[in-house]
Amino acid sequence: MAHVTLEQLRDVFARLDSGSRVVASGNFATPGPLIKALDESLDSYLLHMLNAHGELPDREGVLLETAFVGPAMRKRKGLRYVPCRLSMVPHLFTGPLPPDVVLLHTSTPRYGRVSLGLEVNVLPAAMEAARARGGIVVGMMNPRMPYLYGDAEMLTSHFDYLVEVDEPIISVDPSEPDLVSRAIGTNIAALIEDNATLQLGIGAIPDAVLTQLKGHRGLTIWSETFADGVLGLERAGALSKDRPIIASFILGSEELYDWVHDNPRIRLLRTEKTNDPAVIARHPRMTSVNSALQVDLYGQANASTIHNKIYSGFGGQTDFIVGAMHAPEGQAFIALKSWHEKSQTSTIVDSLDARVTSFQQTGVATEQGVAHLWGRSQAEQAKELIDSAAHPDAKDKLTEAARKHGLFR
């Protein structure tokens, strides 16, 4: 392990093979200075990140690759999207997508260790895969990165190069949920009991669910990610003090980062643990809440595609839906608004014209109500979706479509 400057690191990058696959921290831990140094030193490379934020190089010779599209990669020409459940991404690194370089955003060292901070996710697997094939691992030590425990802690000896920077961490302040999102949150919260274990995806609607759970008690978090809504539950006394808060990465405000920093109750684990459906299924009353763009009358969801172009990806939805549905008293919900304001169209549709995943979740919740799907026939599911979740302006059209599909006789 060597402590180097960014200038010295450019010399290291310049010796890499053209076309090297580089895996970097994603989400709000994007290591901007490392990516910039790499881009200035290497003519051609492939950059793999999950849910990438910030500014990424946009030039000939740079190929972007991901299993979950973030705002920094969205709409980029030539993007290489690799469909994969989040729990399976580590297997890509030991199989078809072996990394040559791993760039990590870390805390400053303590007693021979650094923390991966806000992003653990698939990064330990990428480090192991790179080292196993003689690749290099670079850490960008930042005093502003919160120090978190669990699999986030790494020995400095696991890095080939460490460089010190002082860079702001990406953050976003929470916003008040709108009336429709709040209604959806109320509908789902009414179906969640005390002592439940929660997983919530990214977005306004999952956050709105958390705001409606502050009166609950004994709740536990086992999730791939969380944001400021969990801090709200903590302050309301809704979370169990006896069990740790588990996730794999964190997105949120500076206030949230102050709370998670050096907090022994919060443990970030690698994705293979947090997203393992068998592990998820061991949690009593495991409740999964995720968003989608559309749901059809067969209960199938489009959670990742707009106009047949990839918008995000599978993420951990399928991992948690499967795990929650196998848990004792477990349940899984897809939550979405019933009406898309910009296009003035229903989000409950007769059939999907995009790639789909049949989740077979407990129910679908909109501000109109909750359609209970589990254990019901296709026709019953369609009727539930129309009666309980669809916007009133769409009900007649959906009923007619259901008849055409042979769902209603």
Q: Which residues are catalytic?
A: 224
Identify any residues that bridge with 267 across adjacent strands, giving them in sequence order.
Answer: 149, 246
What does the CA dihedral 370, 363, 226, 277 come to, rounded to 10 degrees? 170
Identify the DSSP state of 334.
E
Token pair for residue 313? 């990806």
Q: List the one residue out of 24, 12, 118, 27 whose CA is nearest residue 64.
A: 24
Contacts of 176 by beta carbon, 8 Å cutoff, 6+ apart: none
Task: Give dist(CA 279, CA 389) in Å, integer.
Answer: 31
Token pair for residue 117? 């901070």
Give the H/E segment covering residue 124: helix 123-132
Cβ(238)–Cβ(196) below 8 Å: no
Token pair for residue 142? 């930042």
Q: What is the DSSP string of 349-362?
A: ESS-SS--B----S
AA identity, residue 218: G
**Burial class of residue 276 in the structure, from the number of CB atoms within 10 Å of its CB (0-12 exposed, 13-18 middle, 19+ buried):** middle
Q: List the one residue out of 387, 405, 313 whose CA is nearest residue 351.
A: 405
Task: Region of 234 please: left (phi>0), alpha (psi -120 to 50) or beta.
Answer: alpha
Contacts of 87 by beta carbon, 8 Å cutoff, 6+ apart: 271, 272, 275, 276, 277, 316, 319
